[in-house]
Amino acid sequence: MAKRDFYEVLGLAKNASEDEIKKAYRKLAMKYHPDRNPDNKEAEEQFKEVKEAYEMLTNPEKREAYDRYGHAGVDPNMGGGGFGGGAGGFGDAFGDIFGDIFGGGGRRGGGGGPQVYRGADLRYNLEITLEQAAHGYDTTIRVPAWDKCDTCNGSGAKPGTSPVTCTTCAGHGQVRMQQGFFSIQQTCPKCHGTGKIIPEPCPSCSGAGRIKRNKTLEVKIPAGIDNGMRIRSSGNGEPGTNGGPPGDLYVEIHIKQHAVFQREGDDLHCEMPISFAKAALGGEIEVPTLSGKVSFTVPEGTQSGKTFRLKGKGVKGVRSGYPGDLFCHVAVETPVKLTEKQKDLLREFERATTEGGAKHSPQSKGWMDKVKDFFE
Ligand SMILES: [Zn+2]
Ligand SMILES: [Zn+2]
């Protein structure tokens, strides 16, 4: 599921003070601590979530990155964020996936007034089958969405009270600090750039001004998508702060293991057991592909381990538009549970090939020659 907002995890407003973060953390950490919840997986997960939120939000640099870019700013797995993520690691289905992490969002430049923050990006892990990945797949997912809180009408303040202008920054959201000759503008540490302080938070939304609900989203997965690729759904992340733009939602594709095929890029591989007689005599075999069976002729004298390439029977590349190939790895099967009659036939066969000499088994002959050289 999508990663939850750190403030939401701790039940705090975006402008929570460091003290409030510490208090909320202590309370929740006590509640979900593994010592108090032995063998409770859910509590353990919640404990980890709370701990991560606390660690991120009490580190001023990370908190600022998170406020500006959301999870993309602090989660190295999200790529492209403010914290050494880099866009590597994930393939991007449409090339521009990381394009607007920095564009459009972020802080409103220049003068006074509260700061505008882009909402956090969210990630949704979607598991699909190899067939769905190869042929394309339309589905729907349930994702978090936020509505304005009815109780406080979005202000975050308890009804009957209202947010007050921050006295530290006089509502500008920024403060000037004198450092030597330089005057540096910084995010107000008291209100964290919102310009407002909520003395009594709304009980329905804990001061966030909005309530989380779920919504259904249609996802069109293009044919040929590969494991780890992500599809961006623009604007479906968390809402921004102070009128900032919302973050994006990233649907990350996880392809389930297939019973027959292994995928490597746009190529497919499969193992094909064939009988000892078929391998020796050659003949038609049926080969499975993602679009049904095809027949294929193996030549006389096919050895175990031989690979046949079926051109164009792989997966059509999501970017190239060209199909990969299917590689069939032949495994010659030694017959088992033979009847006396079948054994007699094989003994007769063995005598006949021995009489015929080494030409019937060049591999064995080559091997015997090496062994002889080795002992001489
Ligand atoms: Zn409210
Ligand atoms: Zn302030």
pLDDT for 89 beyond 80? no
**CB-hemisphere CA count at 13 Å for 96?**
5
**Nearest CA to 12 among 171, 205, 196?**
205
Angle at which helix 41-57 crosses helix 60-69, to 10 degrees, equals: 100
DSSP state of 257: P
Query: What amino acid occupies position 218?
Result: E
User: Is residue 114 within 8 Å of residue 173, measured between CB atoms?
Assistant: yes
pLDDT for 121 beyond 80? yes
Length in residues, the chain: 376
Distance 168 CA to ligand 2 centre (A): 5
Mean pLDDT of 316-320: 87
Residues that place a CB less than 5 A from ion ligand 1: 149, 151-152, 202, 204-205
**What is the assigned CATH class of domain 261-333?**
mainly beta
Choice between 81 and 214, residue whose per-residue pLDDT is larger: 214
270: annotated binding-site residue? no
Model confidence pLDDT, tens digit, residues 131-180: 999 999 999 999 988 888 889 888 889 999 988 999 998 888 888 887 77
Which of 15-43 are b and which e, b meaning 16 or more Cβ less than 10 Å from the residue's Cβ?
bbeeebbeebbeebeeebeeeeeeeeeeb
Q: What is the pLDDT of residue 113?
A: 60
CA distance 303 to 307: 9
Domain ranges in the chain with CATH number 2.60.260.20: 122-150+207-255, 261-333
What would be the CATH architecture of the domain defined by 122-150+207-255? Sandwich (2.60)
CA distance 32 to 34: 6
Domain ranges in the chain with CATH number 1.10.287.110: 1-72
What would be the CATH architecture of the domain defined by 1-72? Orthogonal Bundle (1.10)
* Gap between the terminal Cα atoms of the chain: 67
| Ligand nearest to C-alpha 196 | 2
188: annotated binding-site residue? yes
What mean pLDDT, rounded, does the chain reach? 83
pLDDT band at 114 (very low <50, low <70, confident <90, very high): low
Query: What amino acid occupies position 46?
Result: Q
